[in-house]
Structure 1
Amino acid sequence: MGNTHGMRNAYGVETVRAAERELMARLPQGALMQRAAAGLAAACADLLGRVYGARVVLLVGSGDNGGDALYAGARLARRGAGVSAVLLAPGRAHPGGLAALLAAGGVVLQEDAEDTVRRADLVVDGIVGIGGRGGLRDGAVPLAEAAREARAVVAVDLPSGVDADTGEVRGAAVRADLTVTFGTHKPGLLVDPGREYAGSVRLVDIGLALPGEPEVEALQHADVAALLPVPGAESDKYRRGVVGVAAGSDRYPGAAVLAVAGALRGGAGAVRYVGPAGGAVLARFPETLVSDRGPAKAGRVQAWVVGPGAGDDAQVVEEVLAAEVPVLIDADGLRLAPRDVVRERSAPTLLTPHAGEAARLLGTGREEVEAARLSAVRELAGLYGATVLLKGSTTLVAGAGGGAVRVNATGTPWLATAGSGDVLSGLAGSLMAAGLEALDAGSVGAYLHGLAGRFAADGAPVGAHDVAEAIRYAWRDVVRTG
């Protein structure tokens, strides 16, 4: 990608550890921890506003995160904060950090720790680092609970109890207002449920050189702007791509209308609608090309969207899958598309399930998918040999051939509304017809759709049609600022 300005990359724990070891070998003893602690202390000071006289409590585990917290605490103590430390593994706290804190006037709390935590202006979570697996240990749980009543909580590198590589939260975890992470984002900071626990995330550059491809990447405005299709001087509607929408049924004409609404705003030159809801589609969007003769006889398209509101029409799905163009499968189509047929297609396929649909395709429960979104989306992409867009509070897009999973965070809870997925399908299908690869079409579609949801909602309930209407504002916003 030419324009990677702003792309947020997240690397796995193994990669980060290797990069840290390599950097430490080149730096004086302890220098890396000092860099991290300086960044952490600066972020804490910004959050506090006034350091002098502030009550700060450090929750200190046995690892380097505890050391970072102690050194940052020493810096805040030297600026007049009242800093106390709760040592969760008293014999194993970082000796240099502890000495620095005590020398700066900080104290170690022996009893009443929870009460002090509740009354703190700032709690610094340095309990476990990125190597932590599973939820918090029993001894830490009451402190994490008490921290919820403090004025603010800052997590060091990652909230304790969140899995750095997956965002999974198995058991109790610290809920932070701010996470200060070092060197690179960790996948668990960008993927729910971990993302929710992290609050806002501030990245501190400590000079890490990270090789190769990230585990997870999040597009920003500039990345999306670079990918958007732009019609050239030579473009006519056919050169810009025609997207076919095979959706809707007599029972669900609305799904067809909403998918077409998304498709008309996705950059393709024209939308060809095939199905029984042609009357409803033309009434809303007279510019649509309408046919009721089935996808195979509908005329040329550069990409198909199939499935929204299709009911049990397996014939439509079969005809679309036989076409030699990119296909997006959503909703009822996911149920009707045989896995082996999808696997054997020569043209790209993009599946767009929500957690419930993904669970059915994987033969597991919805809760399992929600809890382990990253592994679920990768597994589905592997099973189908297709690009998979897993909808949700953070939408994930996994490519057919592995590689970095894209995470989209532009969504809003207001988007959890009937029909908004139909709009997304039309939009992403239109982007494929305009020439974007499946991974890019899915991630750009999710980005614009989420942004459109924010613009349309503006703090109030919103219908899927409002989201479709707002796509053009999202597109403009991306082009102007990207």
Structure 2
Amino acid sequence: MTHRDDFRAYFAADIRRAEAPVVEAAPTDAVMRRAAWAVADVARTVVRAQEVIGDGGGHVYGASAAALIGAGDNGGDGLYALADLARSGMAVHAVLLSPDRAHPRALDACRRAGGRVHEPADPDALEQLLRRLRPAVALDAIVGLGASGPPREMAGHAAGVLEELGTPVVAVDIPSGIDPDTGVRHPGAIRPTATVTFGLFRRAHLLASTDCGALELAEIGIGAPAADDGRPAEMLTSIGTATAGELWPVPDVSDNKYSGGVVAIRAGSQRYPGAAVLASHAAVMSTSSMVRYVGPCRDQVLADRPEIVASSVVTNAGRAQAWVSGPGMGTGPETAQELAWILSQDVPVVLDADALRVLAEHPSILRRRDAPLVLTPHAGEFDALAQTFAPAQAGLLAGDRAGAVRGLVAELDSRGVNATVLLKGRITLIDDGRSAFAQDAGTSWSATPGSGDVLAGMIGAILAAREGPGALADVEVPRAVAVAQVVHSVAARLAAEEFGRPGSPIGASDLLGAIGEAVAKVRAVAG
């Protein structure tokens, strides 16, 4: 879901706090009706799209719509949306899953617009109803911000029936069965074609973006939320391609090969020379400044990129503004010694792959440091780190991924370590305990061997550039890391589209070859 502009998402409690004065100041149900119109508009768009994809539909007038209606305001949004759809000439059906708790004014509006109301007594009756109606579109208005845990039996059963029928679903606020704060998807959760939310994005819209379908934000007059103490509420951010393009370092008339920040790469081994080549080459392609390579793969690295300055020993590498260590290094005692020396340098350090395993096995080499430390684990490496540094967070990635990352960062901070953790995945999480980012790569084709080596080299180059006077100079480390991740994702997508093969598998070398085009693309988006 690579996007042009930045997204900011908030905890449900903070959104409720921001909504309250807007709802209180407006006429009765005015905000709800505004939200419902946005839902109905997306539903009409979904129906029309069926003609484009040759699904036998496309005409709003005469088409049918059904809504799964829960209790309270979320159900009220769905009922008012049905009333709006009825005025478009659609045959609408309100399926009440909590009849005694349906929003009374919205239910009356739906009935007055010609909507039919159904109260199925059990899952079998609900299934028979949905199979008989076979709606052109369904609305998921079961639960909203108050959601917690898996859907109840009726809702979960309806989700399975709609999926079997191939009915496109528009979720109201958030798909039922998705936790609004953690993004955890529970069994039986609705799988929507689109999700319409109101005023502000919920954290789950970023943490579970792959489970939300197309995401639409309807303005209802809500300002930025505040916490209980009046301070700005905590945000989860996803930066877009425009921001990445604006911040990507570009040399100006006064720059030279050193001024943009030199990055040193300690990667590779006799067994894994490719890791050295991938990380070093990625750093070269990321900025115009010098790249130093240290390690036993000097010949392979220079054969690939002769402009790299190579040496064999970390203590002889020369001055650098940032270090990258780990890809393909191995996990022997010599790696721990080199890692201890690199961590003693007062510059940003990126640790990936083998360096993370070594750190988990030899935690004593990680001492207090003010200079930034960026850890880039995949799930297995994260658990190894957590078992060593934050046992309470180990094994939690199947649930609250963002909470587990924040917990590891907090434990490292308590040890005096200025750490940023990047947890790899289709949705990559980046957190330093103050700023948090969730970046959806848009595809999962970059989950290929060597892709992480490329990302580590890119991050190292960006952090080295951050030490200079350019656009990144005053940017916090997590945002700079997110910039590198965005360009990495764009490069992966461009590589998969090469030669007219959209969505095809790629290797890390393909991704590497697309970095230059990706940088040009995000800068063009930024204008």
TM-score (norm 1): 0.95
Query: Which of the residues 209, 215, 236 maps onto 1:201?
Result: 215
Distance in 2 between residues matched to 1:473 and 1:259, nearest whole Å: 18
Q: Residues 30-45 of structure 1: matches in 2 within 5 Å?
A: 30-45=29-44
**1:466 to 2:486 alignment:** no
Query: Which of the residues 54, 58, 75 maps onto 1:66?
Result: 75
**1:331 to 2:353 alignment:** yes
Distance in 1 between residues matched to 2:246 and 2:370, nearest whole Å: 27
Distance in 1 between residues matched to 2:166 and 2:294, nearest whole Å: 57
**1:448 to 2:487 alignment:** yes
Q: Residues 42-441 of structure 1: matches in 2 within 5 Å?
A: 42-49=41-48, 50-111=59-120, 112-118=125-131, 119-148=134-163, 149-191=165-207, 194-211=208-225, 212-267=232-287, 269-293=289-313, 295-312=314-331, 313-337=335-359, 338-339=362-363, 341-342=365-366, 344-363=368-387, 368-385=396-413, 386-399=419-432, 402-435=433-466, 436=472, 437-441=476-480
C-alpha deviation, 1:340, in angstroms = 5.9
Worse-matched range after superposition: 274-283 or 42-51: 42-51
C-alpha deviation, 1:267, in angstroms = 1.4
Contact 2:14–2:233 under 8 Å retained in 1: no
For residues 400-456 of structure 1, give each alpha carbon's deviation from its aligned partner in whole angstroms, at most 9, with x where no partner exists.
xx2341111234211110000000000010000111442123101110001100000
Distance in 1 between residues matched to 2:92 and 2:202, nearest whole Å: 28
C-alpha deviation, 1:116, in angstroms = 3.8
Contact 1:411–1:449 under 8 Å retained in 2: no
Distance in 2 between residues matched to 1:104 and 1:339, nearest whole Å: 67
Aligned to 2:229: none
C-alpha deviation, 1:351, in angstroms = 0.5
Gap change, CA 1:249 and 1:7, over 3 Å in 2: same
Distance in 1 between residues matched to 2:406 and 2:288, nearest whole Å: 29
The residue type equivalent to 2:205 in the other structure is L
TM-score (norm 2): 0.87
Q: Residues 6-25 of structure 1: matches in 2 within 5 Å?
A: 6-25=5-24
The residue type equivalent to 1:108 in the other structure is V
- Give the root-mean-square deviation of aligned CA atoms: 1.8
Contact 2:436–2:478 under 8 Å retained in 1: no
What stretches of structure 1 of length at least 5 have no aligned partner?
none
Gap change, CA 1:371 and 1:27, over 3 Å in 2: same
Gap change, CA 1:274 and 1:219, over 3 Å in 2: same
**Where has structure 1 moved over 6 Å in runs of 4 or more?**
364-367
Distance in 2 between residues matched to 1:154 and 1:289, nearest whole Å: 55
Distance in 1 between residues matched to 2:88 and 2:251, nearest whole Å: 57
Contact 2:340–2:366 under 8 Å retained in 1: no
C-alpha deviation, 1:29, in angstroms = 1.8
Gap change, CA 1:339 and 1:345, over 3 Å in 2: farther
Number of aligned residue pairs: give it: 474
For residues 345-402 of structure 1, give each alpha carbon's deviation from its aligned partner in whole angstroms, at most 9, with x where no partner exists.
1211111001111112112798631432211221222222301111001111102xx2
C-alpha deviation, 1:268, in angstroms = 5.1
Distance in 2 between residues matched to 1:441 and 1:289, nearest whole Å: 25
What stretches of structure 2 of length at least 5 have no aligned partner?
49-58, 226-231, 414-418, 467-471, 498-502
Partner SS for 1:264: helix
Gap change, CA 1:153 and 1:343, over 3 Å in 2: farther
The residue type equivalent to 1:162 in the other structure is I
Identical columns (%)? 43
Worse-matched range after superposition: 127-136 or 214-223: 214-223
The residue type equivalent to 1:28 in the other structure is P
